[in-house]
A and B are shown apart, each in its own frame.
Chain A
């Protein structure tokens, strides 16, 4: 069968899966007075359509920031504005100032879901397809298989089409950025990434690797005027893009400050709700949230994040290849997720995107990570009534990546890049079969996640510990993520000789 038909089949299946998930409930459905993220997005359409630009981020009589005030950068606001224009055409009641608060109807849900599908088709899906075709090794069928598995990553589908968010826009734009850099179109890549940054400020998790990669490339071009000029061009692109995005807010100095204040609420604590990172997990044993002062918490978080980010970034600076870049993205974003301030569980998607990009090289570990990331969001998904899609998409994803990408077969020690682990155990346990241990751990961990999912749904927690299951989910995920950050750092820093093991077959 020709390539184009295989690709269209995969895309159509991906789209079908997405739309089928969208049949289910969304965040905050039928839960007044605050509802959830779905209502937040609808509210932003209302605010951006009815109010002038200079009022969007301010607390005015018309714009109550306590009721889902805008807390994403301007591109999100412009996107909401465009959606609002379409909404107004279809049914003005959807964006009436005040009157539309908490508006819920079947046709409105269809409209909102359609906006997500539209941006997905426009931005994210083409980026995935292009990535797989330009940067994946192997036969064309293997590329299609990789693209298919990436498209069916459950976490993104469940959050975007279930819980309701527009992560495919920011992640898609970031992926275009990576594509640009990989193809050598640095300016285009920088432009795309700056747009991603201006869509969701969480993309800052990815910014350090972008910076180090570009800086490294410029330095490699020699400390001549060429390198400097290249750096200058990139900086100019970034600055101009920022200026264009923020143009309506640059008239008055108060505006950008207020926007920044909304984007980075340092007033809120170390963490909110249950999230699979260090602070929340530590809090189970020692109540650091109350024990340490705010300044100490900030300092500790900053120090640990820096500690874990530095080695990876320095290595990337010294060796700016695409492979190093992808691994640095994984390591940096995972470090930020684990140690940073005010992290939400959905931020794991920022780590999942670069892991999808190493799918083809290390399928087993990537599959393991992606399933864990979906599992870590289980409490959120259960709250939104998304149990059925969670189970079906996770099982389908597990099955597909094991079958299509032969994840279990391609797991020799070399393919799993266990160089350092081998060196460490060489001395004391030379006969250890590391690859088999990894596989056993993989299955065991999946069994644990399945068991915990099952108990979260079916059993009632004891009265004294009402949050028992979400806490267990977070702690289990945290332990996994800790293992993954060590592993991915090991892979990046050790950089074993990457054989071109997948020969191009046709």
Chain B
């Protein structure tokens, strides 16, 4: 069948999808925005009003600059355009200033910055192997574009909650695309830029490091190693150069380890399960009189903002312990691609595992970090059946775990509609793509995913009407993160399984 749009320009559907999602983003301009909005307004103000030497010392607002210097320069650039919208937003003492012009400017800046993401997605589509003569809706590049441009997580985190992830993930995906196209210097350069924009991407730096070292530095001449080193080091030099004198201060801002193991809302990782096990043991222990209730630390893990707390029964976890766990979790994957690199696809799989491993075992992980695993996994999902199944599990669970970010009643229909939209699209399109060979998800997985529906009904509709809402207000959050943690852990195990059991493919794929 042929799509009812006989604009036979091959790429017109890409621009249609991009334009369509931009219209949707424009409609969401007046939606709820979180404190991250004020964070970025504050950064606009301080980069505009203060000299460079003061940027990392400024502390009028509680939202101090905690991204690397290149992002600060990005905000500085934006602030020059902000002048034309509302000069008052650039005044540092104007805390929580949110005039309509400010909201419009900030939202538009995210929407426009997404152009980088659009370009990156276009480049990634070129790396896919295409079957000619297929119906448009069944083409892998169309499906990938839909999965990336209309990704539910990106939409609600960037365009409602407010952040600049689209722009950053654009740089990441562009770097990956360059590696797929064997333009490794550009890929490395882009990744260094990315690290200097947001240091959370250190999570996946090991994958990059091992892959580049393995594939280029020891197989080809030393000149390559030197060039690579130069590119990376010079990027860091340009970025941190102006701040050389204040390096300790900058680093202390970038890596604040004073915060607790978990955020107020636990990210659905191993520590959520660890916390719940600890709670369960302590309750059981008190019940069976194995423990004295007075001796237990009286911390409330789920109340209030970030707090340090101690576990009652199981050993407490320190930042060093989480670092060790994270490294242990990603080491096998790194060994695998060192030992038997599978080209760009193996690198991508290792990257996803590094992202997911750091998410699972990291210190003070934000639930938004799940996007770092979901987005690159989309590239793998349109290429292989197994990966499509893992992607569905991870994306539905991961996206659902983002629900507590939008806790206002007004946004409830939007998040449900958009979640359904993305889930139905990913399910239907991947099913069409991998029509032959049976179902993508086994019955157990389907049951688990369907279980999200009663979970949502209980947490957002039934529980608030019960009497426990006052006494245990954070119980729904706990339930959500524990339930999702199960799904995320399962996806992690399956990803590892597919990495460790896959052999060198002898098929000629474009991703070599």
Contact = CB atoms under 8 A, between A and B. Distances in A.
B4, B20, B420, B432: most-surrounded residue (chain A CB, <10 A): B4
Interface in B10-59: 12, 16, 19-20, 23-24, 26-31
B421 A403 contact: no
A138 B4 contact: yes
Interface string A136-151: 0011011001000000
A405 B4 CA distance: 7
Given A20-B414, A117-B413, A399-B19, A404 B5 contact: yes
A130 interface: no
Contacts of A106: 410
Contact of B417 (A12, A21, A389, A393): A12
A396 interface: yes
A283 interface: no
B12 A5 contact: no
A5 B425 CA distance: 7
B409 A107 contact: yes
A129 interface: no
Contacts of A251: none
A487 B464 CA distance: 57
Contacts of B26: 388, 392
A62 interface: no
A505 B23 contact: no
Given A2-B428, A505-B2, A16 B414 contact: yes
Given A5-B428, A20-B28, A392 B23 contact: yes
Nearest to A24: B30
B138 A1 contact: yes
A253 to B, nearest CB: 46
Contacts of A2: 428, 432
Contacts of B27: 16-17, 20-21, 389, 392-393
Contacts of A406: 4-7
B421 A141 contact: no
Nearest to A144: B4
Contact of B425 (A9, A20, A139): A9
A376 to B, nearest CB: 22
B418 interface: yes
A15, A405, A406: most-surrounded residue (chain B CB, <10 A): A15
A112 B254 CA distance: 46
A141 B6 contact: no
Interface in B136-189: 137-138
B1 interface: yes
B424 interface: yes
Contacts of A302: none
A395 interface: yes
A409 interface: yes
A142 B6 CA distance: 11
Contacts of A15: 413, 417
Question: For this complex, into which size category does the number of interface residues on chain A fall?
Answer: 35 or more
B429 interface: yes
B2, B27, B29, B427: most-surrounded residue (chain A CB, <10 A): B27
A258 interface: no
Given A16-B418, A388-B26, A409 B413 contact: no
Contacts of A405: 4
A110 B409 contact: yes
A404 B4 contact: yes
A499 to B, nearest CB: 18
B3 interface: yes
A405 B413 CA distance: 29
A60 interface: no
A110 B23 contact: no
Question: For this complex, into which size category does the number of interface residues on chain B fall?
Answer: 35 or more
A16 B24 contact: yes
A13 B409 CA distance: 19
A139 to B, nearest CB: 6
A506 B137 contact: no
Contacts of A142: 4
B425 A403 contact: no
B31 A403 contact: no
B7 A1 contact: no
B411 to A, nearest CB: 9
B413, B420, B425, B428: most-surrounded residue (chain A CB, <10 A): B413
Given A1-B138, A388-B30, A392-B26, A19 B16 contact: no
Contacts of A21: 27
A403 B429 contact: no
Interface in A51-66: none
Contacts of A412: none
Interface string A368-400: 000000000000000000001100110110011
B4 A12 contact: no
B4 A23 contact: no
B30 A23 contact: yes
Interface in A1-31: 1-2, 5, 8-9, 12-13, 15-17, 19-21, 23-24
Contacts of B1: 139, 141, 505-506
B424 A396 contact: no
Contact of B414 (A19, A24, A141): A19
Contacts of B138: 1
B159 to A, nearest CB: 11
Contacts of B432: 1-2
Contacts of A389: 27
Contacts of B3: 141
Contact of B410 (A13, A110, A141, A400): A110
A409 B420 contact: no
Given A19-B417, A110-B409, A392-B26, A8 B424 contact: yes
Interface in B404-452: 409-410, 413-414, 417-418, 420-421, 424-425, 427-429, 432
A399 B421 CA distance: 21
Nearest to B27: A20
Contacts of B428: 1-2, 5
Contacts of B421: 9, 12-13, 16
Interface string A96-124: 00000000001100100000010000000
B424 A403 contact: no
Contacts of B420: 8, 12
A428 to B, nearest CB: 35
A409 B414 CA distance: 35
Nearest to A399: B19
A17 to B, nearest CB: 6
Given A23-B30, A392-B26, A399-B19, A9 B424 contact: yes
A19, A21, A24, A106: most-surrounded residue (chain B CB, <10 A): A19
B30 A12 contact: no
B441 to A, nearest CB: 16
B28 A409 contact: no
17 contacts: A1-B137, A5-B427, A9-B421, A12-B418, A16-B24, A16-B417, A19-B414, A20-B24, A24-B30, A110-B410, A139-B2, A141-B1, A141-B4, A389-B27, A403-B12, A406-B7, A409-B6
Given A19-B414, A403-B12, 14 more contacts: A5-B428, A8-B424, A16-B24, A16-B417, A106-B410, A110-B409, A138-B4, A141-B1, A141-B4, A388-B30, A389-B27, A395-B23, A399-B16, A399-B23
Interface of B: 1-7, 12, 16, 19-20, 23-24, 26-31, 137-138, 409-410, 413-414, 417-418, 420-421, 424-425, 427-429, 432
The 3 closest A-B CB pairs, nearest first, are A5-B428, A20-B27, A142-B4
